[in-house]
Amino acid sequence: MMEGVEIMSISIQTLDLDSSSIPGPHLPPSSEEFTVENNTCFVLNPSKDFSYERREIPQLRTPRHVRVRVIATGLCGSDIHYWQHGRIGRYTVDSPIILGHESSGIIEECGIDVKELAVGDRVALEPGVGCSTCETCRHGQYNLCDSMQFAATPPYDGTLSTFYCLPEECCYKLPSHITLREGALVEPLGIAVHCCRLAGDLQGSAVAIFGAGPIGLLCCAVAQAFGATKVVIIDAVESRLNFAREFGANEIYKMEFGSSESNAEKLLARTKLFGGADVVIDATGAESCIACGVSALKRGGVFVQAGLGSPNIAFPIGQICDKEATLKGSFRYGPGDYKLAIKLLDSNRVRLDSLITHDFTFSEAERAFGNVAKKQGIKSVIYGPGVDRAMAESSVEGGLAAAIPKL
């Protein structure tokens, strides 16, 4: 047994995704075990099964670090990909790893050099720490740092645990009216902010967004907050498109069988995007959507690639050149993106609550992974050990002490 790690007597087996229903959790730790003073973690093993572990409570690494009690964590497609495939690109699950990186929590301890945060503050976590010394970091692109330590990216553990430590500058205070449940979605909102900022000035523009998942929907909300006058969301799933319309999309389009060019023609005609979209954001990574998006882009427009699919696809580079379009890749988030995301929430120009369609306690983490793998709903959230939805929703300024039980 590794020092400081106690593996509990349960082991959660990989779900059979072809089954008609998601099985119940396999005897996770009891609620009593969640409330004692330990760091309970939900761990993915290289064998692609899960286990709960009790690990030592993480200590502050530097005087600028804080320790956060994790209250809510949203599940991301990358979490599911590591579970199902054991790797993403060059990052491989070679040893047990804690997944999760979309989290909110409460400051539990502060280092002596922490200036802006205090114990009890409610924060959203930015889960990546650059080296601060390389050329990209010093040029203000720390998201491109080769030495980035990003939560739930091997070999670095994520946030599906009782506690998580990170530097002060990676914690952002939540507005008083935003619950910790919603705070877990600040991370994907930061991604959407980054995508839309890469697209340039959106004031008065027409934007086509491929993908009605969380990132596509959040890009829709951010684009509208940035002044876009028409936002069209494109997807192949009727239920997701219906949700997108309710969420605020000006127009929706369902991808049909046929060529990308014919889909683009129908898209532009039905949504009256004559001449093409000023900006196209692809949040799918699907080759057919990317090709359709390039066809639907106006001459001189901007195409932002946000979604990751197959690493190598056939790409219509000739159309990009013919249209003298600008092609940009988007990777996570950079300086100012989280702060702007928080401002959008504080002003109510973006709302997050309706995106969360499924809630799970920490003992139901396996079910949450299965739910997301089956593409059920929009966003699934797992609450930290000893926390439930009622606690996370009631934990706004003033009611926090009574809502969240002490460990």
For the cut 50, the answer to whether the pLDDT of residue 14 exceeds it is no
| Mean local confidence (pLDDT), 276-297 | 98
Confidence of residue 227 (pLDDT cuts 50, 70, 90): very high
Q: Which of 51-60, 166-175, 309-318 is least confident?
A: 309-318
Per the rule left: phi > 0, alpha: psi between -120 and 50, beta: everything else, 370 is alpha
**Domains in the chain, ordered, with CATH?**
5-185+352-403 (3.90.180.10), 189-329 (3.40.50.720)
| Mean local confidence (pLDDT), 206-215 | 98
Confidence of residue 23 (pLDDT cuts 50, 70, 90): very low
Instruction: State both tokens at 125.
Output: 């976590």
Give residue-wise pLDDT tens across range 354-371.
999 999 999 999 999 999
Written in H, E and C, the secondary structure of 219-240 is: HHHHHHHCCCCEEEEEECCHHH
Q: Is the dihedral of CA 166, 124, 214, 359 positive or negative?
A: positive
Q: Which of 18-22, 173-177, 191-195, 210-214 is least confident?
A: 18-22
Instruction: State both tokens at 254.
Output: 């369902």
For the cut 70, the answer to whether the pLDDT of residue 111 exceeds it is yes
For the cut 70, the answer to whether the pLDDT of residue 404 exceeds it is no
Q: Which residue has the tokens 């596509």?
A: 216
Give residue-wise pLDDT tens across range 381-399.
999 999 999 999 976 655 4
Give residue-wise pLDDT tens across range 90-104.
999 999 999 999 999
Task: Give the pLDDT score at 28.
Answer: 60
Instruction: State both tokens at 6.
Output: 């106690």
Task: Give the pLDDT score at 20.
Answer: 35
> Considering the entire predicted model, what is its pTM?
0.90
Crossing angle for the helix pair 260-270 and 287-296, nearest 10 degrees? 50
Task: Give the pLDDT score at 26.
Answer: 43
Q: Which stretches within 6-48 are classed as H helix?
A: 31-35
Task: Give the pLDDT score at 308.
Answer: 85
Paired strand residues for 209: 233, 281
Q: What does the alpha-carbon distance between residue 43 and residue 187 come to, in Å, rounded to a whole number?
A: 21
Give residue-wise pLDDT tens across range 237-258.
999 999 999 999 999 999 999 9
Instruction: State both tokens at 22.
Output: 């998601």
Task: Give the pLDDT score at 98.
Answer: 99
Local structure of residue 133 (DSSP, 8 states): S
Q: How many CB atoms lie within 10 A of CB 211?
A: 24
For the chain, what is the mean pLDDT? 91
CA atoms within 13 A on the CB side of 178: 28
